Amino acid sequence: MTQPQLYPLLFEPIYQYRLWGGRRLDFLSTPLPEGAIGEAWLLSDRDEHASLVRNGALQGQTIRQLMETYGEELMGPMASRLKRFPLLLKFLDAREMLSVQVHPSAGENAKTEAWVVLEAGEKCQIYAGLKTGTTEETLRAAVDGGNVETHLVGFHPKCGDAVFIPAGTVHSLGGGIVVFEVQQNSDVTYRLYDWKHVDAKTGQPRPLQVEQALACIHYGQGEIGPVSPVVEGQCERLFQCEPFSLWRSQGAVPFHVGAARTPRILVCIEGAGVVEHSGVKQAIQKGSVVLLPAAVGACCFTPLAPVNLLEISIPELETK
């Protein structure tokens, strides 16, 4: 049986309860379930949470099924060395503070991530990195004493800030902030401290993984703040690392997205527009995530209103 040709693919969000979450992800394509919704997984190739296509002939297919069926048409030359889609994309609504946490930097559980701030209230905070002189011994003592935050470096973010969190970095955020997150495809988090949160669903604090966290922290990481965007033509490059690169395009004038023989992901964080491929137009709006398969290549994006669009390459370093 002949398989449908690939085209710009939209995906259904996968909502996740988090005790620190809120109700501000209601701009997405499907209604929020009840409760504190902390995360919307926009593109996920996890065994327990696989993203579903929501448009066109492939509607209802999972990203894993597409990887298996289309291979190089979807992922380009990198297809032969990928077991699964290499990134996990999310929106986070952190009404309260996330745990103070760290992600491992080695093996298939490695997790480097980055944030773009969409909404920032007066009380919101980002912690990223440790104060100079913090050691494993002093941090362990702070965990025992319940004052871990005295060793953290933090700042009050504003809308539009972009923050890079290499694996091994102690970090947290919250206090009324909404961010977009791009990360390596890992769901491993080691909690060092949890602000005395009690999970309303269980009536219990969440478990900590102090020893695992202390073992994988990069103690010399130092202070991390917002990145300085690099202007590249009509867009800004916010991040460029081995797992991903990310650009931001803003405005109301048509521009090109995508690239030949490599997949790209588009995430609309403000406004609306149309992606055109082979004469077919696909409308997107705030909250939409679109995977441009390698076989699709470059497309024209036409804003319908002033737009703020993120574009992500995976996983090779490229020049936009």
Tell me which DSSP letter residue 40 carries.
E
Per DSSP, what are the bridge partners of residue 152? 130
Smallest CA-to-CA distance from 154 within 191, 100, 116, 113 is with 100
Question: How are beta strands 190-193 and 100-102 bridged, if at all?
Answer: antiparallel
Q: Backbone phi, then psi, for 29, in 5-degree steps?
A: -75, -20
Q: What is the distance of C-alpha 119 from the center of its chain?
A: 15
Domain residue spans of the chain:
9-216, 230-313
Q: Give the pLDDT confidence score for residue 201 in this predicted structure.
A: 87
Structure confidence by residue, pLDDT tens digits, 239-276? 999 999 999 999 999 999 999 999 999 999 999 999 99
Q: Which residues of the chain have pLDDT under 50?
A: 317-320
Q: Which CATH topology does 9-216 take? A: Jelly Rolls (2.60.120)
Q: Give the pLDDT confidence score for residue 161 in this predicted structure.
A: 98
Helix (H, G, I), strand (E, B) or coil at 129: strand
Q: Give the pLDDT confidence score for residue 307 in this predicted structure.
A: 97
CATH class of 230-313: mainly beta
Rounded-to-integer distance, Cα 214 and Cα 208, Å: 11
What is the residue whose two structure tokens read 């206090």?
Answer: 175
Rounded-to-integer distance, Cα 116 and Cα 179, Å: 5
Q: Tell me whether domains 9-216 and 230-313 share a fold.
A: yes
Q: Give the pLDDT confidence score for residue 107 in this predicted structure.
A: 85
Q: Give the pLDDT confidence score for residue 138 in this predicted structure.
A: 97
